[in-house]
């Protein structure tokens, strides 16, 4: 059976002619994806420059460790990955390749779950809490990272054209990054000397630091398990959206 490209499905137009409103919709979504990706990358660069300026001003000697610490924030990782996937998605739309490839739908799902949890955890646990990375820059990069980008990526998942029906088996893929990140963070934390606080151990977020809780690692593991369950729940809800809210018949995402 031949797979029909929704952009070239005619519905009364001459054979091979694209529906003008579908083409315009795809181009608008592609442009919005590019703009959002640019905003996320600019916010990340600005955050890094603010931190680096603080490192230089304070004369911290181990710049490599500080750079690695910056890259270790889940916010930075999820926003960087999100920007890259948005740009890939924009390129697919501009090339009129719809439905989108299954591998792209999977990447979008992973980014969606990462960004949604990034927004939820920040606004529930970290807003207004000092995070030791250096720098005292403006608030707008953080608002883009933790509010604007997560919300718009959710909207993109629900409304953008070309997303196929996602199998439930893809859910476990969304857990790989957060679980690997948590494992690396907890192993690395005690081994890193925190130059900004002059103490042995560095964790990107306070709720992962056992020294900051009377119950030590018990509290840390409670947060880790709770957030992991949150990832699974958000992933399940995101997959459910693709299975019950369908704009037009589309084949399952493959690849």
HEC sequence for 216-244? CHHHHHHHHHHHHHHHHHHHHHHHHHHHH
Report pLDDT digits (tens) over 36-82. Answer: 999 999 999 999 999 999 999 999 999 999 999 999 999 999 999 99
Residue 130 has a pLDDT of 67
DSSP conformational letter for 14: P
CA distance linking residue 15 with residue 175, whole number of Å: 44
CA distance linking residue 218 with residue 35, whole number of Å: 42
Residue 38 has a pLDDT of 98
Position with higher pLDDT, 179 vs 136: 179
The CA distances from residue 68 to 72, 169, 186, 202, 203, in Å, are: 6, 33, 15, 11, 12
Residue 252: beta bridge partners?
A: 165
Contact 181, 73 (CB under 8 A): no
The pLDDT confidence band at residue 214, using thresholds 50, 70 and 90, is: confident
Contact 164, 100 (CB under 8 A): yes
Contact 134, 21 (CB under 8 A): no
The pLDDT confidence band at residue 14, using thresholds 50, 70 and 90, is: very low
pLDDT above 50 (res 210): yes
Q: What is the mean pLDDT of the chain?
A: 87
Residue 150 has a pLDDT of 98
| Residues composing the chain | 255
Report pLDDT digits (tens) over 133-149. Answer: 655 667 899 999 999 99
**Percent composition of the chain: helix, strand, coil (DSSP 3-state, to 5):** 65, 0, 30
pLDDT above 80 (res 174): yes
Find out whether the peptide bond into 99 is cis, omega within 30 degrees of 0. yes
pTM, whole model, 2 decimals?
Answer: 0.84
DSSP per-residue codes, 120-169? HHIIIIITT----S-----SHHHHIIIIIHHHHHHHHHHHSTT--BPPGG
DSSP per-residue codes, 53-98? HHHHHHT-S-HHHHHHHHHT-HHHHHHHHHHHHHHHHHHHHHTT--
- Domain map of the chain by residue range? 20-244
Structure tokens at 229: 């369950």
pLDDT above 90 (res 22): no
The CA distances from residue 184 to 56, 67, 96, in Å, are: 27, 16, 39
**C-beta atoms surrounding 202 within 10 Å:** 24
pLDDT above 90 (res 98): no
* Spacing of C-alpha 188 from chain mean position: 22
pLDDT above 70 (res 86): yes
Instruction: Give the mean model confidence (pLDDT) for residues 97-102.
Output: 86
């Amino acid at each position: 059976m031949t797979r029909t490209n929704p952009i070239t499905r005619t519905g009364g137009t001459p054979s091979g002619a694209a529906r003008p409103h579908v083409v315009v919709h795809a181009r608008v979504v592609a442009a919005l994806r590019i703009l959002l990706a640019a905003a996320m990358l600019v916010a990340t660069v600005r955050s890094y420059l603010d931190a680096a300026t603080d490192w230089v001003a304070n004369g911290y000697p181990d710049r490599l460790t500080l750079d690695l610490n910056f890259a270790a924030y889940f916010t930075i990782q999820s926003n960087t990955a999100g920007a890259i996937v948005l740009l890939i998605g924009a390129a697919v739309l501009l090339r009129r390749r719809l439905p989108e490839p299954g591998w792209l739908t999977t990447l979008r799902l992973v980014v969606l779950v990462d960004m949604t949890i990034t927004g939820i955890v920040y606004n529930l646990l970290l807003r207004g809490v000092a995070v030791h990375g250096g720098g005292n820059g403006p608030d707008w990069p953080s608002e883009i990272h933790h509010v604007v980008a997560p919300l718009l990526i959710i909207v993109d998942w629900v409304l953008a054209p070309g997303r196929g029906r996602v199998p439930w088996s893809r859910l476990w893929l969304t857990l790989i990054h957060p679980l690997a990140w948590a494992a690396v963070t907890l192993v690395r934390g005690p081994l890193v000397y925190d130059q900004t606080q002059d103490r042995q151990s560095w964790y990107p977020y306070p709720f992962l630091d056992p020294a900051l809780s009377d119950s030590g690692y018990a509290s840390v593991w409670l947060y880790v398990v709770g957030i992991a369950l949150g990832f699974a729940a958000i992933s399940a809800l995101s997959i459910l959206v693709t299975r019950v809210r369908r704009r037009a018949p589309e084949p399952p995402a493959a690849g």
